[in-house]
Amino acid sequence: MAVAFSSSHHYLSFAPRISSYSNPNKTLEIKSLSITQQSHLLNKSCLGFPIARRSFISSVRIEESEPQVSDGKYISNLKTLLDAYKEALLDGDEKSVLEIEATIYAMENEKNELALKVSTLASDISSGKEKSIRLQADFENFRKRTEKDRLKVSSNAKEEVIESLLPVVDNFEIAKRQIKPETEKEKKIDTSYQGIYKQCVETLRSLQVAVVETVGKPFDPAFHEAIAREECQEFKEGIIIEEVRRGFLLGNRLLRSAKVKVSAGPAAEKGPANNEPVEQPATVLD
């Protein structure tokens, strides 16, 4: 649809273009609405009076969205607006022309404002999602760190309590080795003490406390502390022959190393006597 007016000195063209659309459920898309005028003053003989007009170029684009009214109503309103604009130009109705132009400008401004709001909301949504992801990751890291710290504190507290009980166990074992009850009264007392000792051992066992293996095992500096090195016919060199103080493990962690004596191997056979001094093996390890 195009309208053109011409005179000997002036030319006015009006050519609205409406884009085609394929989706009947989407709103009408207006790509451009252009009015071009090559003269700033219409001939009085054409419209009946001089009209000072400025160049008017407006672009209106409404993105696809779910319409609240039918497409037919949008098309009808657009045609009505264009017909009114054409009639106003033909009749020289400056007031109506200005009102229609103002309406189109208002539509364009509203479109720009809505586009800005959409862009701002989209940016806010994207920023909100990123913040949510970061907060979730930070909370997960905080939860893991808190759980790790809790387990560490619990383990350290349990370790301290168990270490404080180990000397009590040592004293019971020393008493068991040294005290030999003879009378009936002494035997009853010894039985009572042994019952307490067994209760302590069961409590430690329930806390996952285990004894470090010693006699008959190879010496391991990670678990054993050698206090002496002696000749032994029964065990070869490097094997533990005696436990002086018991060692304990808490799970896989060493609570206390075991103090032991280590075999230096069988004694060397005595050869023929000579005057050369024979070096004696050390009996104590630092």
Q: What is the predicted pLDDT for the residue at 17?
A: 42
CATH number, position 213: 2.30.22.10
Residue 131 counted as domain residue: no
Reported as a single tens digit per residue, the pLDDT across 193-229 is 888 888 888 888 888 889 999 999 999 999 999 999 9
The answer to which of 25-39, 59-73, 178-192 has the lowest mean pLDDT is 25-39
Q: Which of the listed residues 92, 119, 150 is the one where a domain comes to its end?
A: 92
Q: Rounded to whole angstroms, how far apart are CA atoms 21 and 30?
A: 10
Q: Which of the listed residues 63, 92, 121 is the one where a domain comes to its end?
A: 92
225 strand-pairing partners? 259
DSSP H or E run through 259 = strand 258-263
Task: State the total domains in the chain.
Answer: 2
pLDDT at 37 over 60: no
Q: What is the predicted pLDDT for the residue at 75?
A: 58
**Mean pLDDT value across the chain:** 72
Residue 38 counted as domain residue: yes
Residue 144 counted as domain residue: no
Q: What is the predicted pLDDT for the residue at 224?
A: 94
Q: What is the predicted pLDDT for the residue at 269?
A: 63
Residue 47 counted as domain residue: yes
Assessment of whether the complete model's pTM goes beyond 0.85:
no
Q: What is the predicted pLDDT for the residue at 239?
A: 92
Residue 270 counted as domain residue: no
pLDDT band, very low/low/confident/very high, at 101 (cuts 50, 70, 90): confident
Characterize the bridge pairing of strands 224-230 and 258-263.
Answer: parallel
pLDDT at 18 over 60: no
Residue 139 counted as domain residue: no
Q: What's 239's DSSP letter?
A: B
Q: What's 252's DSSP letter?
A: T
Residues 6+ apart with CB under 8 A from 236: 263, 265, 266
Characterize the bridge pairing of strands 240-245 and 248-250.
Answer: unpaired
Query: Which carries the bigger pLDDT value, residue 167 or residue 279?
Result: 167
Q: What is the predicted pLDDT for the residue at 272?
A: 53
What domain range is 235 assigned to? 208-263
- At CB < 8 A and 24+ separation, what contacts does 35-44 make? 37/11, 37/12, 37/13, 38/10, 38/11, 38/12, 39/9, 39/10, 39/11, 39/12, 41/10, 42/10, 42/12, 42/92, 43/7, 43/8, 43/9, 43/10
Q: Which of the listed residues 33, 67, 92 is the one where a domain comes to its end?
A: 92
Reported as a single tens digit per residue, the pLDDT across 227-277 is 999 888 888 899 999 999 889 998 888 989 999 999 988 876 655 545 444
Q: What is the predicted pLDDT for the residue at 35?
A: 38
Cα-Cα end-to-end distance for the chain: 109
DSSP string, 32-81: EEEEEES-SB--HHHHSS--B---EEE---------SS-HHHHHHHHHHH
Q: Rounded to whole angstroms, how far apart are CA atoms 175 and 170?
A: 9
Residue 147 counted as domain residue: no
Residue 251 counted as domain residue: yes
Residues 259 and 284 sit within 8 Å (Cβ to Cβ): no
